[in-house]
Amino acid sequence: MPLEFGLWRVDDKPVRVTTRPMPLESRLEELIEADPGILGHPLLLIGRQVLTQYGKVVDLLGMDAEGGLHVLELKRDRTPREVVAQVLDYGSWVQELTNDQIRDIYTSYARGRGLAEELDEAFALRFGGTPPEALNSTHALTIVASEIDAATERIVTYLASGFQVPVNVLFFRYFEDEGRSYLARSWLRDEADAVAPAAGTKGRGKQEPWNGTDWYVSFGDEAGGRNWNDALTYGFVSAGGGQWFSRTIRSLPLGARVFTHIPKAGYVGVGTVCGEPQPFEDATLSVDGERRRMADLPLDGVYRPVGERAATEGEEPREWIVPVAWERAVPREQALWRTGFFANQNSACKLRARFTIDEVSRHFGIDQDIPEA
């Protein structure tokens, strides 16, 4: 049985607060939308009254901090068999949703509420970070009710315990005391057990599609190390100081379009890789149409050459230089950053974040057609 509890007002002596029927069960939908926190865990609502491909309507659709989807369905006046069958039908639909479909659902929801923010922005505001690359890796089905009957409890427990169906019941108790109204909640099952992988497409379409060309580059502009003014002037990106840092920058292919980001500052340049990765001491760059050794150029930054440590540890601490033809690049002071932009600790990685690509391209006046390699 779900946890049952009472509520007491304590003044001179305990006075039990009266439990009342919920005036309108549909009111729960409005309360959850106003503050999803009443569910007991952080949740970003991405849809209300969402039409499925089967012609049914999901009351509320949410997303958790891991990108998992949550179907919230009010029991209203339906029988246990009807409401459980309905939420299972929604589960068969939600597990197939692709990244693009999820974003379209949120866009429709946001526009309907007069919001201009994209999913990435809303996710960052809610959870403090960018969405995971793979959305909908798990899903949960929740029946929301002001009370549940024994039949609903039996059916849900049977499905969840015997067949690992990610279904749960969240019920509320409604209290009134001296003109004030209160809600208390209780889950039928432990929430940690009530989620399941979104099988169906087995991950296909869960990630944002990659266009095969755009890459993210993190340029660590810091005192005593590399300097963005050098990269801006001579056309390159670089990373080093350890195998973990240099490995990904060295994977940048010729023709890759790089969106360059300075940590804690923002995006400062978009360009195309125009040369093979080379260690600093061997690197050459094109300066006024002439190939010049980078080590011979007047540089503001310090780039780790082969030294005593490198002699004992191989190439691990080297600074690796990748030549880039900038399409548009700006000084650090003009860096662009918006809530929801993609950022990563890797020196380089494939960039799938469409919101970041679109906004950076628009800001810098970059043609969003994929450049030829």
Terminus-to-terminus CA distance in the chain, angstroms?
63
For residue 201, pLDDT over 70 is answered with: no
Q: Check residues 2 and 345 and name the one with the higher pLDDT.
A: 345
Dist CA 240 CA 321 (whole Å):
9
pLDDT-based confidence at 133, cuts 50/70/90?
A: confident
Predicted TM-score (pTM) of this structure: 0.76
Cα-based torsion angle of the residue sequence 50, 56, 57, 63 in order, rounded to the nearest 10 degrees: -50
Q: Which fold has domain 214-364?
A: ph1033 like fold (3.10.590)
Name the 3-class secondary structure at 237.
Answer: strand
| Environment class of 86 (CB within 10 Å of its CB; exposed 0-12, middle 13-18, buried 19+) | buried
Average pLDDT over residues 357-362: 96
Determine the pLDDT at residue 205.
60
Average pLDDT over residues 350-362: 94
Q: Where are any strands of DSSP class E within the chain? A: 8-10, 14-16, 18-20, 44-51, 57-63, 69-74, 138-145, 167-177, 180-187, 196-197, 214-218, 236-240, 257-262, 266-273, 278-279, 284-287, 290-293, 319-329, 348-350
Percent of all residues in the chain with a pLDDT value above 70, rounded to a whole number: 87
Name the 3-class secondary structure at 262.
Answer: strand
Residue 368 token pair: 């969003």
Give the lowest-confidence range in 37-46, 101-110, 122-131, 310-319. 310-319
Q: Check residues 8 and 235 and name the one with the higher pLDDT.
A: 235
Q: Tell me the pLDDT of the chain averaged across its residues.
A: 87
Dist CA 320 CA 149 (whole Å):
66
Per domain, the residue ranges of the chain are 10-197, 214-364
Determine the pLDDT at residue 312.
46
Dist CA 211 CA 337 (whole Å):
22
Determine the pLDDT at residue 85.
92
Dist CA 34 CA 36 (whole Å):
7
Question: What is the helix, strand, coil percentage profile of the chain, to 5?
Answer: 30, 30, 40
- Taking only the tens place, the pLDDT of each residue in 282-339 is 999 999 999 999 999 999 999 965 454 444 455 567 899 999 999 999 999 999 999 9
- Taking only the tens place, the pLDDT of each residue in 178-200 is 888 888 888 887 755 555 565 54
Indicate if the alpha-carbon torsion angle 29, 31, 37, 43 is positive or negative: positive
Dist CA 334 CA 325 (whole Å):
19
Q: Is 267 left (phi over 0), alpha (psi -120 to 50) or beta?
A: beta
Is domain 10-197 classified as CATH 2.40.37.20?
A: no
Dist CA 246 CA 320 (whole Å):
6
pLDDT-based confidence at 373, cuts 50/70/90?
A: very low
For residue 358, pLDDT over 60 is answered with: yes
186 in Cβ contact with 322 (< 8 Å): no
Phi then psi for residue 295, to 5 deg, are -65, -20
Q: Which long-range contacts (CB under 8 A, 24 or more apart) does 352-360 make?
A: 352/133, 352/207, 352/208, 352/209, 352/210, 353/120, 353/130, 353/208, 353/216, 354/103, 354/208, 355/118, 355/119, 355/120, 355/121, 356/120, 356/259, 356/267, 357/214, 357/259, 360/259, 360/267, 360/270, 360/336
Distances (CA, A) of 12 to 17, 95, 175: 15, 54, 20
141 in Cβ contact with 71 (< 8 Å): yes
